[in-house]
A and B are shown apart, each in its own frame.
Chain A
Amino acid sequence: MSPLVAGLVQVGVLVAALAVAYRPLGDYMARVFTARSHSKLERAIYRFARIDPDAEQKWSTYAFGVLGFSFAGIVFLYVIQRVQSLLPFDFGRGDVGPGMAFNTAVSFVTNTNWQSYVPETVMGHTVQMLGLTVQNFVSAAVGLAVAIALVRGFVRYQTDRLGNFWVDLTRGTVRILLPIAFVAALVLIVMGVTMSLKSGVDVDGQVVANAPVASQEAIKELGTNGGGVLNANSAHPFENPNEWSNLFEIFLLLVVPVALTRTFGQLVGERKQGYVLLGVMGTIWAAMLAVIWGAEAAGLRPLEGKELRFGIAGSALFANSTTGTSTGAVNSWHDSYTGLGGGGTLLNMLFGEMTPGGVGTGLYSILVMAIIAMFLAGLMVGRTPEYLGKKLGRKEVTAAAVSILAMPAVLLIGAGIAAILPSTPGALNNPGAHGLSEILYAYASASNNNGSAFGGITVTSDWFQSSLGLCMLFGRFVPIIAVLALAGSLAAQKKVPVTAGTLPTTGPLFATLLGGSIVLVAALTFVPALALGPIAEALL
């Protein structure tokens, strides 16, 4: 098999597997969030937490739930890292320092999973399981809940209630993520992923670190988290032993964001509305794959930072999917990619993580972009825009604009300051335009809650720990608050009847508008910065 054919076969297997899972998973998720009854386990959780699961919340209460839950998560995660030396399975790795503990706590709670630490020497198994694994689940479930709340905004009329955050969070966790992750963890073990409570293993006379990998690996991909149990992440043979486990992990990180378009179509009562979103996501994903794969295949040193078993195709496929979702796991080092290939992974994040985006975050981000697209279309024809039977007035468009602009704002401010700090050049691993790319990539990754890195950059200084931490917080919660406010304002509306003047949102015209908006917003915002980094490098 030539490398091209072998690569295409892998893409084909992946797409086929996603197609098989699409309908059952999408429909199942729709049922999970519309079911009336609570399971026994859920009731026990609600009783313990003293929560009334049948009380519906206004958007503001829902938002306070998200913020309060995330705040509690950050505090808990910070504390257990700071007292790690008192916990079992710490292997003398000691307490995590305050800057790193803050950054890591924020990182995992915001579903970023950016890692300023080397797991093998910093994190013991207890913090990994009790802290990091838990946030791998619940941060994904928070994204899912917010997406569902936004969809409720579209399908409910003249109400100020959006559902119950605690119920959405719990159901997303115990009915969707936990069962799939459990099965996936077992599949990974069978494929050869390790699962050990020991600190390491002797290989031909040298010690290689080991960990309870499989359980965290499964949710790391499924929840589009991406924080490696080991430093080399999914490039490490213990996390990703062969070509089949590689494909399986790519499948896991794509499956929920992709199937959510089906869930969306089900919930709004018109499946085509979901297919058109999937079409836009898939088109951009495929185009970016061609760019990254092609650029790497033509590289000068294509195997630098790549594992031989994955080759160029298996690495590019992973890189494109991990940056197109907000996963950030890596099976190769994007820092060593070509100017164009690495620039492609960066651009994937700059699209705002909606091709197809993270668990839940991808769906709500692309719906917000759909509102922007309909607003632009409305301006062109001079009509008040509508989407899914709701008018898009001043409030809705403002909320959408705030949600879209939060990421570029914190990204460019953060990267701009970092670029002029005298201490920054010393933190970079490569000279010239690529050094600027390392800075841009770091802030893009944090602000988009992706978590992958141009890993050569050293981010352990107080400046990087705190500024990247703030980018993660703003990049996560400003859009979430705006999206929930948007949902609240949509839910309060009456249904706008479809007229001859309504722009249909299931056809190619809308798809083009939406795809065009995604590309245009990113291009208008980031071309100057990209020109100095990856574009300059690609032209050199």
Chain B
Amino acid sequence: MDNFLKQSWAGLRILLALTVLLGVLYPLTVWGVSRLPGLRANAEAQDTTLVAVVREGDQYFQPRPSAATLPASGGSNKSELNLDYDKVVAERRTAVAQREGVPEIDVPQDAVTASASGLDPDISPDYAALQVPRVARASGLTTEKVRELVAANTSVTFTTTVNVTALNRAIDSAIR
């Protein structure tokens, strides 16, 4: 016990020294570097397109369903064999099909499943294409113009995704 208490005191002292280094100097230095012009806007998530939130109105593209309660992030954690959740997914499919005026079979997976973060900025090209006619109608833009904006906000790395946040801002500017 003596030895344990002695080592605990030594432990506390070294912990305090390391706390200054790792808990104060390290994060504040990283923060300091993130103030550099070119990095700062990103670090502060100014005008960020990394996350998507729902924007009301038919003139906007809708992101994936979200199980998050803002300002926190999160997913549904519903399992594959959860029958109650099957109903939720089916309702979403019906709602999307009605909104876009298409048969339910045409509604892609990402339109009816909640993302992991609840803030997923991306939708699939299929889901974007599904929304183009409605967005064109409600925004007064031509279908060609809306398709063009979708293409401009599509990125391909290992997956092909359409950034809803950037796309909706592009719609805003096009309407103006």
Residues of A in contact with B (beta carbons under 8 Å apart) = 1, 3, 6-7, 9-10, 41, 44-45, 48-51, 60-61, 64-65, 67-73, 75-76, 118-121, 129-131, 133-134, 137-138, 166, 169-170, 173-174, 178, 181-182, 185-186, 189-190, 192, 194-201, 203-210, 212, 214-216, 230-232, 235-238, 241-244, 299-311, 313-315, 330-333, 335-339, 342, 429-434, 454-456, 537, 540
Are B8's CB and A72's CB within 8 A? yes
Considering the complex, give the chain B residue whose CB is closest to the CB of A131.
B23
Distance between Cα atoms of A433 and B81 in the complex (Å): 9
Report the separation of the CA atoms of residues A9 and B31 in the bound assembly, to the nearest whole angstrom.
33
Inter-chain pairs besides A169-B14, A206-B70, 15 sampled, C-beta below 8 Å? A6-B158, A44-B17, A50-B10, A51-B10, A60-B3, A120-B71, A137-B18, A214-B30, A232-B68, A304-B114, A307-B117, A337-B80, A433-B81, A434-B81, A456-B78
Q: Given A232-B118, A237-B50, A308-B120, decide whether A456 and B30 contact each other with a Cβ distance below 8 A.
A: no
- Complex Cα gap A455–B77 (Å): 6
Chain A residues with CB under 8 Å of B50's CB are 192, 237-238, 241
Q: Decide if B76 is an interface residue (CB 8 Å cutoff).
A: yes
- Interface set, chain B 69-96, CB cutoff 8 A to A: 70-84, 89
Instruction: Tell me, in angstroms, the Cα distance from A212 to B8 when the chains sit together.
Output: 30
Residues of B within 8 A of A69 (CB): 7-8, 10-11, 14-15
Chain B min CB distance to A104 (Å): 15
A167 to chain B, nearest CB (A): 10
Question: Using Cβ atoms and an 8 Å threshold, which residues of chain B touch A76?
Answer: 12, 15, 19
B77 touches A166 (CB 8 A): no
Q: Please, which residues of chain B bring their CB within 8 A of the CB of A235? A: 73, 75, 115-117
Q: Is residue B129 within 8 Å, beta carbon to beta carbon, of the partner chain?
A: no
Residues in chain B near residue A339, CB distance under 8 A: 80-81
A207–B4 Cα gap in the complex (Å)?
Answer: 47
- Is there contact, CB below 8 Å, between B4 and A205? no
With a cutoff of 8 Å between Cβ atoms, the chain A residues found around residue B81 in the complex are 339, 430, 432-434, 537, 540
**Segment of B40-48, B97-105, B134-142, B143-151 in the binding face:** B40-48
- CB of B22 within 8 A of chain A? yes
Contacting residue for B10 out of A68, A75, A134, A314, CB 8 A: A68
Whether A303 pairs with B23 at a CB distance below 8 angstroms is no
Contacts of B27 in A (CB 8 A): 129, 133, 212, 215-216
- When distances are taken between beta carbons in the complex, the residues of chain A under 8 Å from B33 are 186, 189
How many Å from the CB of B154 to the closest CB on chain A?
12
B17 touches A45 (CB 8 A): yes
Which of A10, A197, A333 interacts with B31 by CB under 8 Å?
A197
Residues on A with C-beta less than 8 A from B24 are: 129-130
The interface residues of chain A lying within 8 Å CB-to-CB of B118 are: 232
In the complex, the chain A residue whose C-beta lies closest to that of B47 is A203
Instruction: Find out whether the CB atom of A304 lies under 8 angstroms from the CB atom of B113.
Output: yes
Can you spell out 18 A-B residue pairs with CB atoms less than 8 angstroms apart? A6-B158, A49-B10, A49-B17, A51-B13, A61-B3, A67-B8, A68-B11, A185-B30, A189-B30, A194-B43, A231-B68, A241-B50, A311-B159, A333-B116, A430-B77, A430-B79, A434-B82, A456-B78
Closest to A299 in B: B80
B residues less than 8 Å from A48 (CB atoms): 13-14, 16-17
Given contacts A45-B14, A133-B22, A301-B113, contact A236 B78 (CB under 8 A): no
Chain B interface bracket (under 10, 10 to 19, 20 to 34, 35 or more): 35 or more
Contact A182 B7 (CB under 8 A): no
A7 to B12, CA, bound (A): 46
Q: In the complex, are the beta carbons of B158 and A313 less than 8 A apart?
A: yes
Does B123 sit within 8 A of A, measured CB to CB?
A: yes
Known: A205-B53, A430-B79. A68 touches B26 (CB 8 A): no
Contacts of B173 in A (CB 8 A): none
Question: Of A49, A182, A302, which is within 8 A of B14 by CB?
Answer: A49
Question: Do A230 and B43 touch across chains, with their CB atoms under 8 A apart?
Answer: no
List A contacts of B22 (CB < 8 A): 133-134, 137-138, 173, 178
A-B pairs with the 4 shortest C-beta distances? Answer: A68-B7, A456-B77, A235-B116, A69-B11
Please measure, in the bound complex, the distance between the C-alpha atom of A118 and the C-alpha atom of B73, giving whole angstroms: 9
Contact for A308 among B26, B76, B124, CB less than 8 A: B124
A204-B55, A307-B115, A336-B78 are contacts. A120–B10 as well, Cβ < 8 Å?
no
Does B170 sit within 8 A of A, measured CB to CB?
Answer: no
Partner of A232 from B75, B78, B168 at Cβ < 8 Å: B75
Distance (whole angstroms) from the CB of A166 to the closest CB of chain B: 6
Residues of A within 8 A of B70 (CB): 206-208
Q: Judging by beta carbons under 8 Å apart, are B72 and A231 in contact? A: yes
Q: Tell me if B51 and A238 are in contact (CB < 8 A).
A: yes
Asked if residues A431 and B82 are in contact (CB atoms below 8 Å), the reply is yes
Give the chain A neighbours of B34 by CB distance below 8 A. Answer: 189, 195, 214
A216, B17: Cα distance in complex, Å: 19
Return chain B residues, CB-CB under 8 Å to A121: 71-72
Select which of A7, A10, A332 is within 8 A of B116 by beta carbon. Answer: A332
Please, how many angstroms separate the alpha-carbon atoms of A73 and B26 in the complex? 18
Chain B: which residue is nearest A5 at the CB level? B158
Q: How far is the CA of A303 from the CA of B39 in the complex (A)?
A: 32
**In the complex, what distance in Å separates the CA atom of A170 from the CA atom of B13?**
12
- Inter-chain contact B14/A208, CB cutoff 8 Å: no
A434 contact set on B, CB distance < 8 A:
79, 81-82
B51 touches A182 (CB 8 A): no
CB neighbours of B109 from chain A (8 A): 301-303
B117 and A236 form a contact (CB under 8 A): yes
B105 to chain A, nearest CB (A): 16
The answer to whether B44 touches A210, judged by C-beta atoms less than 8 angstroms apart, is yes
Closest to A246 in B: B158
Among the interface residues A61, A138, A236, which one has the most CB atoms of the partner chain B within 10 A? A236
Chain A residue with Cβ nearest B35: A195
Measured CA separation A337–B83 after assembly (Å): 15
B80–A338 touching, CB < 8 Å: yes
Report B-chain residues with C-beta under 8 Å of the C-beta of A199: 71
Q: Is the CB of A203 within 8 A of B53?
A: yes
Expressed in whole angstroms, the minimum distance between the Cβ of A203 and any Cβ of chain B is 5
Q: Do residues B119 and A236 form an inter-chain contact, with CB atoms below 8 A?
A: yes
Chain B residues with Cβ below 8 Å from A309 are 120-122, 157, 159, 161
